[in-house]
Structure 1
Amino acid sequence: MTESPARGKGRGARERVLVAATTLFQRHGINATTMEQVAAAAPVSKRTLYAHFPAKDDLMVGYLRHLSESGATLEAMLDRTDLSPREQLRWLFTIPDGTNAPIRGCPFTDAAAEFPDPESPVHRYALERKRRFPQQLAELAARLGAVDPEALGEQLAILADGAAGRAMVLNDGACMRYGLMAAEALVDAQSRRPE
């Protein structure tokens, strides 16, 4: 089945909006970025922007989903099959090289902080992702031979979130390295020892 030209064009506009929003949110933050700035950066008309995302809440949920589905989050490393469990753990505490932009930390934490109402669609989506994170880490902990993978998953989630938050506030990637050292110590302490 072929797509009508109008449909293809609409999907292209939606993708451009999400890419522009991602760039602007990461550069300036969520609340500092206006819908008008996103439309200009996309570039799309405000009418087109609002046809795809009627409110900023809708754009935010779309942005967070886009990050999740595109693998553009550190959590995506936990789904990679080309990495060993130890490599996945290390990548979780890695800030990409080559950018001079400020460290933004976890986009889901950022979104929940900027949309604090628990009933907000943005907050609910961030909550859903944050609940999934320790489950993913528990699966990783099991592959690493942890005695109690669920507890280790929660501990690693707290470490990763804390290191990312501290790195963002201090704009210092060293926080992630210290987080990794603590994570590896926890994993080693929880690993099954041969009888």
Structure 2
Amino acid sequence: MSATTTETERRGRGGRGGRERILAAAAQLFAQQGINATGMEQVAEAAPVSKRTLYAHFRTKSDLVIAHLRELSAAGRTLEGVLTRDDLPPRERLLRLFDHPAPEASPVRGCPFVDAAAEFPDPDSAIHSYAREQKLLMVHLVTALVTELGAADPTALAEQLVTLADGAASRAMVLGEADYGRHARAAAEILLAHALPKSS
């Protein structure tokens, strides 16, 4: 191995941006093959970073998974992301819950929080607990929006809408149809029409 190659590899495996490369590699691997099927060594190799660097950033796989989920949420790449968009009116935010863009390369995935909870079914596990927190946040955000729109029973309406959204995302993943949410969107429009004042 030449000195130049060694230096190139050293810069690729260490240096700045290690955490970002780890999260990017984890996101791709988790989407392609699932969380449990992805080993930490695979993530380190795909990043690429040394295992020492990987564990310096993420002491456990649970830490990596939760950081991955937080990254998706912060980037607006979850169902919940559209609910806080200030550039859309409340009703449109609610309906955008059912729009799932087609994946560029990876398989169609459902809600990452539901996926993670399914792979870590122990309700006391850190990953399952984090996923549950995000699903509770989702219904909280939807409740706030339908309250703003004047729903007579915002709690019940919010639960109905998030159930539709999560169900559509799950069926999209199982069937491999990224646009499956259109069916749930049609149902959501009927729910909103019946539950909201006519002016909303």
Does the alignment reach a TM-score above 0.5?
Answer: yes
> Partner residue of 1:167?
172
How far 1:79 moved relative to its partner? 0.5
Write the mapping of 1:96-175 to structure 2, written as runs, cut at 5 A. Answer: 96-97=101-102, 99-175=104-180
C-alpha RMSD of matched pairs (Å)? 1.8
Whether contact under 8 Å (1:144, 1:187) holds in the other structure is no
Distance in 2 (alpha carbons) for counterparts of 1:99 and 1:124: 30
**In structure 1, what residue type is equivalent to 2:100?**
I
Distance in 2 (alpha carbons) for counterparts of 1:39 and 1:144: 47
Matched, 1:14 2:35: no
Residues 122 and 179 of structure 1: CA distance in aligned 2, closer, same or farther (over 3 Å) = same
How far 1:97 moved relative to its partner? 3.4
Alignment gaps of 5+ in structure 1: 1-8
Distance in 2 (alpha carbons) for counterparts of 1:45 and 1:129: 32
> Partner residue of 2:185?
180
Structure of greater relative contact order (alpha carbons < 8 Å, 6+ residues apart) = 2
Q: Report SS of the residue matched to 2:77.
A: coil
> Partner residue of 1:29?
34
Identical-pair percentage: 56
What is the TM-score with the length of structure 1 in the denominator? 0.88
Distance in 1 (alpha carbons) for counterparts of 2:148 and 2:108: 30
Alignment gaps of 5+ in structure 2: 1-13
Whether contact under 8 Å (1:167, 1:174) holds in the other structure is yes
How far 1:10 moved relative to its partner? 7.0
Matched, 1:63 2:71: no
Distance in 1 (alpha carbons) for counterparts of 2:189 and 2:16: 43
Query: Which is higher, the Rg of structure 1 or of structure 2?
Result: 2
Residues 11 and 192 of structure 1: CA distance in aligned 2, closer, same or farther (over 3 Å) = farther
> Partner residue of 1:6?
none
Q: Which 4+ stretches in 1 moved above 6 angstroms?
A: none
How far 1:162 moved relative to its partner? 0.7
Distance in 1 (alpha carbons) for counterparts of 2:29 and 2:149: 37
Q: Report SS of the residue matched to 2:17.
A: helix
Write the mapping of 1:38-77 to structure 2, written as runs, cut at 5 A. Answer: 38-77=43-82
What per-residue deviation string (whole Å, max 9, x for no partner) do you get for residues 108-151 of structure 1?
00000101111111011001101111111111212333221111
Whether contact under 8 Å (1:21, 1:38) holds in the other structure is yes
Aligned residues, how many?
186
Whether contact under 8 Å (2:102, 2:108) holds in the other structure is no
Distance in 1 (alpha carbons) for counterparts of 2:51 and 2:196: 54
**In structure 2, what residue type is equivalent to 1:148?**
D
